[in-house]
Chains A and B, each alone.
Chain A
């Protein structure tokens, strides 16, 4: 029994997302599909799942060519997919989500919820996937939601399971649990495709690894026979330095001081409780934590984007708890926002226009009410050169750039001034390895030039590689402060889940 992709090619207007990809997964094995963001992994799997149709090539199940016109056909052929962004209805119960689309019914289309609940409990017990059948999805933590997704796939009798970046939302402990489940599924004879860009994970779980680069399979490897750096080279296409080169920090005077900060959400619920810390000139402080534990709100408060309920934020001796974003910017704060497309850039604007967004009101870019586009273009051209933004011209809309180059535009704009404090949230999310390296280098360089740096990231590897000091946030509080050289990912993971290492 096997699932085979033969010569799959997918063309989007102007982009070749998949280029005659061949791939086989047998039952009872775990195939790791490794590739950078944008390498075409998700496109490939969406073709396999019937969400896209391939431009060329065919899908075979047990040697039989298949025609998928929608996910329904793929499900019928025994293929199940656990999506990167869960496909669960938040206001439905676990049971309702599991049976949706293949509901057991009594006469007249009436739902047989009793039978459905029984089925959920049966699958749940069989694979050790603990879920509360009658709880609503919106009340469950992501780790449990993922188990619901897996049960959903198993309920449809899938023989082949595709996991798309399944560990992105999990804490390290949850990842361990998750790997246990995947191994159990494999022992039960399921064929598994594990899509990821994380080298360590794919080496830890997969039986075979296929590496995808720019839409093409560029290599196959067996864990144990290759090293992480060899895999990385295959994935990126050139030798990669996996560690960030930096010297020991030399912290000087405090630049950012936060005292007993309390921030509430739109409904008045406190989301940050009495947080206090400081960041000194010449050091990088990393804020670790599972997404949604107050990091975004912290960054918004620090950059003046949201109101502070109580407590104080001081930057270079100046109380900025009630300052506007522009006032904070003018002190010398660079902000690399979490969502570059939504809050970092105006996508339809050109590179030049985006570069001047924070200084359009200043000399020499404007005089009175008129913009000086010549001066602006000159500045943009210099920054594009300096920050290695790959673009045909400074007059193209930033929406045409790749994610990495978009991020470089933001970094160029924010670091292009005299920077005293950098607040960077998820600075490398969704970027290719080359861009990640570049952004990391730039951040370290800013540190060495004497800026204070605060990095917020949900990627533990990034936090460990960059930080001189690590703060862990959990449910709106700072629950731990550690040195990267004195901690392990396991310990950090425990803190992130609200526990303490024994």
Chain B
């Protein structure tokens, strides 16, 4: 017989792709111009980066002081160079990476400008990145929860509610039974809410968006009610112990890196373990192969004897438990007490991180770090008193979300059956 295994046809650059490449180049050039005109020209004073967190960092690292105007002009030059190459020759499939680098340089220039212009003239770089990791935690947990659910084609809009519900129960149980039981309560609450979603979405084939929204509204309503009724009158039920950061031996002593990653609470370590575990699980194990098959082509999975419904229940509940752990962090890993709507949309940003991260655990973590950075930037700029209106700073994470999801993601492909109930014939 003849072997007609054709090699895949070479992919042509479509007009849309060519347009996109041009747009990326132009964006870089605009950033360069902005950096030069706003951050560069007319900026006086120096910016100092501090790398040592007082009372914590093991080694002394000298501060780094750079001239405000000079460094911005230099960065503008680099941006213009990258933009010019992208417009003329193009970086091909590395264009997104170059855009990412460009954005980092731009943010750097912005920070230098902000520091140079502020009365303090300095800010703590290590502390900012440490804060980034911390703040990205609930977003990352939401994103991982979304990855698990959507990989089996169940859209989970209810992550916000699962975070909030997990936080509430963590506060209640954590206050009475201790922090570890608080964490367990948060995880179980997330799992229980996810089970409700699974019953509605998988068994009764309720529209998944509506089912998720219902969970969000329900959790917001009942926790707000109980906060007023229960916690206000019994503050002892809303006063959980917070877990202290724990230094990882050896790794925690690395300058800067140790401060950022390895002197955190157990939650952050759990996140790293989860990302590694889920990546391995989804792409290297039987469970992962079947999960992905159920999300891509449930009928094919069914004809091979895989129980589509069981896989969906399992993964949605696991996803809910991860979101519940994210919720517990708000109490046990952060402030120790529950407030009305304290998750404040982190679950939705988590969904954006999932899309930006292309339904991949590592991508989701990376995306969550970007959003966490936007979040911590807000705080740094508040300290530096830049004169940018605080309302605008509050919008920063949302703006980053929009830019990232609309502009940077490009074409990413969700699981093929995402959001579709499976009907067995």
Q: Knowing A51-B425, A92-B293 touch, does A81 contact B1 (C-beta < 8 A)?
A: no
Using Cβ atoms and an 8 Å threshold, which residues of chain B touch A144? 4-5
Answer whether residue A38 sits at the interface, using C-beta atoms and an 8 A cutoff: no
Q: How many residues of B contact A (CB 8 A)?
A: 35
Within 8 A of A (CB), among B1-46: 1-6, 8, 12, 14-17
Contact: A111 with B305, CB < 8 Å? no
Contact: A110 with B293, CB < 8 Å? no
Look across to chain B and name the residue whose beta carbon is closest to the beta carbon of A108.
B285
Contact: B425 with A101, CB < 8 Å? no
Answer whether residue A247 sits at the interface, using C-beta atoms and an 8 A cutoff: no
In whole angstroms, how far apart are the Cα atoms of A105 and B2 in the complex? 34
Answer whether residue B299 sits at the interface, using C-beta atoms and an 8 A cutoff: yes
* Min CB–CB distance A317 → chain B (angstroms): 32
Using Cβ atoms and an 8 Å threshold, which residues of chain A touch B199? none
Which of A51, A81, A111 interacts with B289 by CB under 8 Å?
Answer: A111
Using Cβ atoms and an 8 Å threshold, which residues of chain B touch A108? 285
Using Cβ atoms and an 8 Å threshold, which residues of chain B touch A92? 289, 292-293, 296
Which of A102, A111, A497 interacts with B285 by CB under 8 Å?
Answer: A111
Contact: A89 with B300, CB < 8 Å? yes
Answer whether residue A70 sits at the interface, using C-beta atoms and an 8 A cutoff: yes
- The digit string for B85-116, where 1 denotes a CB below 8 A from any CB of A, is 00000000000000000000000000000000
Contact: A89 with B15, CB < 8 Å? no
Contact: A174 with B4, CB < 8 Å? yes
Look across to chain A and name the residue whose beta carbon is closest to the beta carbon of B288.
A111
Contact: B300 with A87, CB < 8 Å? yes
In whole angstroms, how far apart are the Cα atoms of A143 and B5 in the complex? 9
- The digit string for A179-197, where 1 denotes a CB below 8 A from any CB of B, is 0110000000000000000
In whole angstroms, how far apart are the Cα atoms of A174 and B14 in the complex? 32
Using Cβ atoms and an 8 Å threshold, which residues of chain A touch B4? 141, 143-144, 174, 497
Look across to chain A and name the residue whose beta carbon is closest to the beta carbon of B280.
A110
Q: Knowing A49-B303, A51-B303, A81-B303 touch, does A100 contact B5 (C-beta < 8 A)?
A: no
In whole angstroms, how far apart are the Cα atoms of A90 and B299 in the complex? 13
Using Cβ atoms and an 8 Å threshold, which residues of chain A touch B301? 89, 100-101
Using Cβ atoms and an 8 Å threshold, which residues of chain A touch B6? 140-141
Contact: A101 with B306, CB < 8 Å? yes
- The digit string for B407-425, where 1 denotes a CB below 8 A from any CB of A, is 0000001001000000001
Q: Knowing A131-B5, A144-B5, A177-B1 touch, does A71 contact B289 (C-beta < 8 A)?
A: no
Contact: A109 with B14, CB < 8 Å? no
Contact: B286 with A103, CB < 8 Å? yes
Within 8 A of A (CB), among B298-330: 299-307
Using Cβ atoms and an 8 Å threshold, which residues of chain A touch B307? 70
In whole angstroms, how far apart are the Cα atoms of A51 and B300 in the complex? 12
Answer whether residue B297 sits at the interface, using C-beta atoms and an 8 A cutoff: yes
Contact: A269 with B12, CB < 8 Å? yes
Look across to chain A and name the residue whose beta carbon is closest to the beta carbon of B1.
A177
Q: Knowing A111-B286, A130-B3, A177-B2 touch, does A267 contact B16 (C-beta < 8 A)?
A: yes
Contact: A90 with B296, CB < 8 Å? yes
Contact: B297 with A89, CB < 8 Å? yes
Answer whether residue A72 sits at the interface, using C-beta atoms and an 8 A cutoff: yes
In whole angstroms, how far apart are the Cα atoms of A425 and B304 in the complex? 34
In whole angstroms, how far apart are the Cα atoms of A132 and B2 in the complex? 14
Contact: A100 with B284, CB < 8 Å? no
Using Cβ atoms and an 8 Å threshold, which residues of chain A touch B292? 89, 91-92
Answer whether residue A365 sits at the interface, using C-beta atoms and an 8 A cutoff: no
Using Cβ atoms and an 8 Å threshold, which residues of chain B touch A152? 304
* Min CB–CB distance A151 → chain B (angstroms): 13
Answer whether residue B358 sits at the interface, using C-beta atoms and an 8 A cutoff: no
Answer whether residue A58 sits at the interface, using C-beta atoms and an 8 A cutoff: no
* Min CB–CB distance B296 → chain A (angstroms): 5
Contact: A130 with B16, CB < 8 Å? no
Q: How many A-B residue pairs have CB under 8 A?
A: 108
Contact: B304 with A87, CB < 8 Å? yes
Using Cβ atoms and an 8 Å threshold, which residues of chain A touch B287? 109
Answer whether residue B130 sits at the interface, using C-beta atoms and an 8 A cutoff: no
Answer whether residue A128 sits at the interface, using C-beta atoms and an 8 A cutoff: yes
Answer whether residue A14 sits at the interface, using C-beta atoms and an 8 A cutoff: no
Q: Knowing A87-B299, A267-B16 touch, does A96 contact B289 (C-beta < 8 A)?
A: yes
- The digit string for A436-468, where 1 denotes a CB below 8 A from any CB of B, is 000000000000000000000000000000000
* Min CB–CB distance B21 → chain A (angstroms): 13
In whole angstroms, how far apart are the Cα atoms of A72 and B302 in the complex? 9
In whole angstroms, how far apart are the Cα atoms of A46 and B305 in the complex? 14
* Min CB–CB distance B11 → chain A (angstroms): 9
Answer whether residue B290 sits at the interface, using C-beta atoms and an 8 A cutoff: yes
* Min CB–CB distance A487 → chain B (angstroms): 21
Using Cβ atoms and an 8 Å threshold, which residues of chain B touch A70? 302, 305, 307
Contact: B285 with A100, CB < 8 Å? no
Q: Knowing A103-B289, A267-B14 touch, does A75 contact B305 (C-beta < 8 A)?
A: yes
Within 8 A of B (CB), among A70-115: 70-73, 75, 81, 83, 87-92, 96, 99-103, 105, 108-111
Look across to chain A and name the residue whose beta carbon is closest to the beta carbon of B287.
A109
Within 8 A of B (CB), among A255-305: 267-269
Which of B15, B302, B413 interacts with A268 by CB under 8 Å?
Answer: B15
Q: Knowing A89-B297, A267-B16 touch, does A109 contact B303 (C-beta < 8 A)?
A: no
B6, B288, B302, B303 — most chain A CB neighbours (10 Å): B303
In whole angstroms, how far apart are the Cα atoms of A49 and B2 in the complex? 31
In whole angstroms, how far apart are the Cα atoms of A222 and B286 in the complex? 46
In whole angstroms, how far apart are the Cα atoms of A89 and B17 in the complex? 27
Look across to chain B and name the residue whose beta carbon is closest to the beta carbon of A70.
B305
Answer whether residue A360 sits at the interface, using C-beta atoms and an 8 A cutoff: no
Which of A49, A75, A88, A497 interacts with B300 by CB under 8 Å?
Answer: A88
* Min CB–CB distance A490 → chain B (angstroms): 14
Using Cβ atoms and an 8 Å threshold, which residues of chain B touch A174? 4
- The digit string for A315-355, where 1 denotes a CB below 8 A from any CB of B, is 00000000000000000000000000000000000000000
Answer whether residue A358 sits at the interface, using C-beta atoms and an 8 A cutoff: no
Contact: A110 with B285, CB < 8 Å? yes
In whole angstroms, how far apart are the Cα atoms of A87 and B306 in the complex? 13
Contact: A180 with B285, CB < 8 Å? no
Contact: A90 with B1, CB < 8 Å? no
Q: Knowing A49-B303, A111-B284, A268-B15 touch, does A140 contact B297 (C-beta < 8 A)?
A: no
In whole angstroms, how far apart are the Cα atoms of A135 and B3 in the complex? 15
- The digit string for A121-150, where 1 denotes a CB below 8 A from any CB of B, is 000000010111001000111011000000
Look across to chain B and name the residue whose beta carbon is closest to the beta carbon of A131.
B5
Within 8 A of A (CB), among B37-81: none
In whole angstroms, how far apart are the Cα atoms of A108 and B425 in the complex? 33
Contact: A110 with B305, CB < 8 Å? no
In whole angstroms, how far apart are the Cα atoms of A89 and B416 in the complex? 9
In whole angstroms, how far apart are the Cα atoms of A110 and B302 in the complex? 21
Answer whether residue A373 sits at the interface, using C-beta atoms and an 8 A cutoff: no
Answer whether residue A387 sits at the interface, using C-beta atoms and an 8 A cutoff: no
Using Cβ atoms and an 8 Å threshold, which residues of chain A touch B5? 130-132, 135, 140-141, 144
Closest 8 CB pairs of A and B: A72-B305, A101-B304, A268-B14, A87-B300, A139-B8, A268-B15, A177-B1, A109-B286
Known: A180-B1, A269-B12. 7 other contacts (CB 8 A): A89-B297, A90-B296, A91-B296, A100-B304, A109-B287, A141-B5, A268-B15
Task: Enumerate 12 A-B pairs (CB-CB under 8 Å) in ascending A order.
Answer: A72-B305, A87-B304, A89-B293, A89-B296, A91-B416, A100-B289, A110-B284, A130-B5, A139-B8, A140-B6, A144-B4, A174-B4
